[in-house]
A = this chain, B = another copy of it.
Amino acid sequence: MSEKKTALVISAHAADFVWRAGGAIAKHQSLGYDVTVVCLSYGERGESAKLWKESGMTLDRVKAARRTEAENAAAALGVSDIRFMDLGDYPLILEREDKYKLVDIIREVQPRFMMSHSNYDPYNTDHMYTTSIALEARMIAQAWGHNPGEKVLGAPQLYLFEPHQTEQMGWKPDTFLDITDVWDKKRAAIECMEGQEHLWAYYTNVAENRGNHFRRNSGGQSGGRNARYAEGFQSVFPRTVDEL
C-alpha cells in the first residue's frame, strides 16, 4: 500500500461523483488523502437534457459546459486531480487501449480504495458497464506481466456508491460514512450542477436520511453518534482486520 493516502473514484459521467460520493471525497481530502476522480465521459448525450433543450446546442458546447460544472464541483470538494477521458456516453464503450489508459491511472494513483457504480442498473447500462470495467482494470493493474517493471496494484477495496433508486439496482450498503463536517462542501458541489437543479433537494434528502441510518447503526436512541449527514457504500471485497 502506498505511503501516501490516495483514493480513486471512477465515474461513468461527469456528475456522478458529486451526488454519489461527494461527501466521501471531501471527507478524505480533509483527512489528508489525495483523491483522484476519473470521468469516463461527460454525460454529454444522455445526462444533459436541460442543455440540449437550448437552441443551437452542439456536442462540443455540451461537453464544455459539463466539464466546467464538474471542475467547479471538484474544486468545491477540495479535489485538485480530476481527469476526463472523453470516451462518449449512451453508450459508453472502452476499447482495449482505453482500458489500458485507465490501468495506467490506477497504477499511478495506487489507491487505498476505489469507488464506482452499482453492479446492476437497468435504467442506465453505462453505469453497470463502468463497474465491470473498474473490476477488469483493477485486475489488469495487479498483473505483474502488464508493463513489467511498473509497480503493480495491491488489493484495494472497491466501494460501490449509491445509485438512484437503490432497490431497483439490488444495491445494499454495508458501510455508512459520517459526512456531517463536510456537508457544506458537498452541498456547494451539488449546487455547481446547474443543469440538474431538480436533484439538489433529492440528494440533500438522501444525505439526511443516511444520517438517520448512521445513527441507527451506531447505537440509536441508546447513545448513537449524532451524525446529521452520511453516505452509504457497498463493499465488493471482504475486509481484513485485527479487531472486530
Contact = CB atoms under 8 A, between A and B. Distances in A.
Given A99-B91, A175-B238, A145 B52 contact: yes
Contact of A219 (B1, B164, B171, B202): B1
A148 B89 CA distance: 14
What's the number of copies of this chain in the assembled complex? Answer: 6
A155 B113 CA distance: 27
A201 to B, nearest CB: 7
Interface in A72-113: 89-91, 93, 96, 99, 113
Contacts of A152: 221-222
A151 to B, nearest CB: 8
B219 A208 contact: no
Given A145-B46, A145-B59, A167-B173, A24 B244 contact: yes
Given A123-B139, A242-B178, A209 B205 contact: yes
A96 B89 CA distance: 12
Interface string A229-244: 0101101111111111
Contacts of A48: 144-145
B49 A144 contact: yes
B31 A243 contact: yes
Contacts of A199: 212
B154 A219 contact: yes
Contact of A167 (B44, B157, B166): B166
Given A166-B167, A240-B176, A146 B90 contact: yes
Nearest to A153: B222
Interface of A: 1, 7, 24, 27-28, 31, 44-46, 48-49, 52-53, 57, 59, 62, 89-91, 93, 96, 99, 113, 122-126, 132, 135-136, 139-140, 142-146, 148, 152-155, 157-159, 164-168, 170-178, 198-199, 201-202, 205-206, 208-209, 212-214, 216-225, 227, 230, 232-233, 235-244
Q: Which 8 A-B pairs have the closest CB atoms?
A: A45-B145, A205-B205, A52-B144, A46-B143, A154-B219, A218-B240, A90-B143, A167-B172
